[in-house]
Amino acid sequence: MKLNEIQDLIKFVAKSGVSEVEVETKDIKIIIKTPASKNKEQIFVQTAAQPVMQAQAVQQEAVQVTESKTPEVKAVSGDDESKYIVVRSPMIGTFYRSSAPDKPLFVNVGDEIIPGKVTCIIEAMKLFNEIESEIKGKIVKVLANDATPVEYDQPLFLVDPA
């Protein structure tokens, strides 16, 4: 292999982004290694930046959805809004109204609840957290859809404490 061929091979490997190339003939063995750490760091930074941007966009959308739901609740409850208690999500996760798709709902509109009664499940990081009622009352409205993401402090239920 001639010197200019080796130089061309080195340039080609550097441009291709390959970290290591090994060429062996009966007369010579050539191993070309490029500094992989620089390339890996650049790729890592690019991939890490995208999910963060997507997570921020999802959070902004969730905030917009939450903000848009709140006026609807106020409009529906009208003048009696002050007598209802809003049960809010204690964590971020996925809201479920039953323990399994084929199981009955924990609570529905018109159901009486007491402190300690399970009202829903919020799944966070593969853990299913039963959310228990802290108040006594009657469910007036379910504000979150089943199997949808919820944010911390997002309204889940309207309860009439009377």
Helix (H, G, I), strand (E, B) or coil at 42: helix
How buried is residue 56: exposed, middle or buried, by Cβ count under 10 Å (0-12/13-18/19+)?
exposed
**Consecutive 10-residue runs of the chain (162 residues): their mean pLDDT?**
77 74 80 59 34 45 43 43 88 95 94 95 94 94 95 95 83
**CA gap 74, 64 in Å, rounded:** 16
Residues 134, 85: contact at Cβ < 8 Å? no
Helix (H, G, I), strand (E, B) or coil at 65: helix
pLDDT at 53 (0 to 100): 45
pLDDT at 87 (0 to 100): 94
Domain-wise residue ranges, the chain: 3-34, 44-160
* Count of CB atoms situated within 10 Å of the CB of 86: 17
Q: pTM here?
A: 0.51
Distance from the first to the final alpha carbon of the chain: 91
CATH code reported for the domain at 44-160: 2.40.50.100
